[in-house]
Amino acid sequence: MKPPTKYITCSYKICRLVLAAICMLAVPVFALHMTDMPENIQTKIKEPRERTISLKLPLLQPTFHWTFISREDFLSGKLLLRIIRDGQASEIIIFEKGQFTDGWEAMPLSPAPDKGEIYFGFISTRRYLTAPGDKLELELTVKKDLPGIGAMQSGILPAGKYTSKGIYSGLIDEYDMTLWAKELAKEGKMPAEEQQALLDKLRAMYEYKAFLESWTDQWPLKITSQKGWLPDKQATALKAMREKLSKQTQPPVVSTGSVAANENFFQKYLWFWIVIPLVVLLAAVFIRRAFARP
């Protein structure tokens, strides 16, 4: 089983740049558990505006990525997104009865998209009205048990109906490319025209897009194996690091209203900074394997 890549089919240089930006922005990038983008890159426009949509299913156990083995079985169900604004709901059917609604597709798999798998993320080419105050509801109908695989686990999403509520993890309009441009300039390995072409590709990844990865309820998988697509040695090292970080980041017990409970915003979000290197490590392994020749 080859791992899925990001939904944008990009060069290795783009992937490196994305990882660098994640480190500098200190963004918690869990694909499933409340991925919130920094406020400084999000839109300041409060009124509804047309944007494309990028969403991932709120599966519980995987930390980063998941692939369902059978595209056909997965699409035999139904995925419905509901955008609620001022008490009025707009329903968007993403797929049902074996096919996607026009303007929707799964985030593509590479380098082997022809084996019948399907990634757990979806994107639209059609634009929808979205606004910062919207409330979101997601409903997935699964007709039969769906086997799947992640970086370090394999499992099944049992047949049934799943629901979750959430908000946008990010609404981005015009995207400031200063950070990316500085990183490219620091590397100093690309001609000016090539740098600009790369920046244009990166801008297209983010601009005028609504990101939906901030869900309150995660859907549990039935884990059948602790073996995913990562090689045993890398998976073992990653698990050990996660366990060590988990022990080190247990919050201290403080009484309500105490000075310690309120004095330091940075300490409150210390886990962001500790987890980011771990995120980058797995992402780097993921990208390296994804682009490796079979």
Domain presence at residue 139 = yes
Domain presence at residue 183 = no
Cα separation, 4 vs 108, whole angstroms: 8
Domain presence at residue 92 = yes
Burial string for 120-147 (b: 16+ CB within 10 Å, else e) reads bbbbbeeebebbeebebbbebebeeebb
What does the pLDDT look like over 116-155, one tens digit per residue?
899 999 999 999 999 999 999 999 999 999 999 988 899 9
Domain presence at residue 74 = yes
Percentage of residues in the chain having pLDDT higher than 90: 41
Residues paired with residue 100 on neighbouring β-strands, in sequence order: 95
Tell me the pairing of strands 66-68 and 146-150.
antiparallel
Of residues 206, 148, 201, 155, the one with CA closest to residue 176:
206
The total number of structural domains in the chain stands at 1
Kindly calculate the radius of gyration of the chain based on its CA atoms and give it in whole angstroms.
20
H-helix or E-strand containing 288?
helix 270-290
Domain presence at residue 4 = no
Which is higher by pLDDT, 212 or 292?
A: 212
In which band, very low, low, confident or very high, does the pLDDT at 180 lie, cut at 50, 70 and 90? confident
* Confidence (pLDDT) at 246: 62
Domain presence at residue 2 = no
In which band, very low, low, confident or very high, does the pLDDT at 46 lie, cut at 50, 70 and 90? very high
Domain presence at residue 193 = no
pLDDT higher than 70, residue 11:
no
For 33, the domain range is 12-173+208-290
* Confidence (pLDDT) at 245: 65
Domain presence at residue 29 = yes
* Confidence (pLDDT) at 197: 83
* Confidence (pLDDT) at 239: 77
